[in-house]
Amino acid sequence: MSGDLGVGGPAGTPLTAVGDRVEVRPPTAADAAAYAEAVTLSERRLADFAMPNPHNLPIVLENQGPTYRTFMVHARDPEGSHGLVGRINVANVVEGAFRSATVGYDSYDPYAGRGLFSEGLSLAIDLMFADPPLGMGLHRVEANIQPSNHRSAGLVRSLGFVHEGFSRHFLHLPGPDGRRAWRDHERFTMLSTDWPAVPYRPHGHRRIACVVSGAGAYGGTSLAVAVAAELGVPLYSSSTVASPATLFELLRASPVGGVVECRLTGPELRMGLARAGFDPSTVPVLEAAFDVSKREVVRHALAVRAAHA
């Protein structure tokens, strides 16, 4: 739920927002006691995926600037506790033609699991996308989350972030096993043009397809098999599926597309691709080959991706 930007301090205060249950604003030295209590209380839970430090607020304050911003989420009704719902960091801010940043966060006990932090993160995203001076004027924010951190991934998906990719050995962090290591991360993103977004918005993967004119691999690996593996999409081959109509029905049902290996005339091929939801004029048609070099496979795969850009 979006709140009021620039409210909670003097009129027009930058980087502040107030919602129904929380207030979001930059950190100050006055937050030190609440921050230390909040992180200490939540330390065991946070340590599964981060390196909590109850006493690093002075470093956080010192690092504030155009490329790194922090938002503190405060409960409007602290219920007698420390009152700090969570902390949100906006790092690696790049302006110009990029206008993008990465977002990371911690939620604190006893407020975790009550929806307060979700409201705070939504308000912070409002500020990230709002025009200066009230906001940061960003176009894109990216959250990188360890695959086993289901709660964090569920949080961003509930705000409409979409899964955009996978990064191998992305950050050197703790994991559920309790030790630090280079950890894989899933990439979730939000664009200013999509915000506010529908919760659990479909990922909207780009469907790609190509046709390899020829069928079956005899004594070697076919180009169709190799290109499908390089693209990471299914292979639908007339060597295993007898009916051309079934081949293109499988392609139509695939959310990512696929490689079709077949021998069909031009009109049959165009009709099948159209029924599968593709513009036949944009789908590359490759000549069948066997045991093609890896360099050639990658060249063909890149050309297929470019055809659907």
Tokens describing residue 203: 């990922």
Q: Are 134 and 5 in contact (CB under 8 A)?
A: yes
Give dist(CA 163, CA 144) in Å, integer.
10
Per-residue pLDDT tens over the stretch 210-253: 999 976 544 457 999 999 999 999 999 988 888 999 999 999 99
Kindly state the percentage of the chain with pLDDT values over 70. 94
Strand pairing report for 208-213 and 257-262: parallel
Rounded mean pLDDT, 71-80:
93
Looking at the chain, the number of H-run helices and the number of E-run strands are 8, 13
At residue 38, the pLDDT reads 98
* Chain mean position to CA 188: 1
| Residue 8 confidence (pLDDT) above 80 | no
Per-residue pLDDT tens over the stretch 36-53: 999 999 999 999 999 999
| Residue 7 confidence (pLDDT) above 60 | no
Name beta bridge partners: 104. 89
At residue 215, the pLDDT reads 63
At residue 203, the pLDDT reads 82
Per-residue pLDDT tens over the stretch 116-141: 999 999 999 999 999 999 999 999 99
Task: Select, from the ranges 4-8, 176-180, 202-206, 292-296, the one with the highest average predicted confidence (pLDDT).
Answer: 292-296
Q: Which residue has the tokens 């927002």?
A: 17
Give dist(CA 231, CA 249) in Å, integer.
20
Hey, is 108 helix, strand or coil? coil
Q: Are 16 and 6 in contact (CB under 8 A)?
A: yes
Report which DSSP code applies to 197.
-
Give dist(CA 284, CA 253) in Å, integer.
19
Rounded mean pLDDT, 252-272:
94
User: Which run of H or of E encompasses 238?
Assistant: none
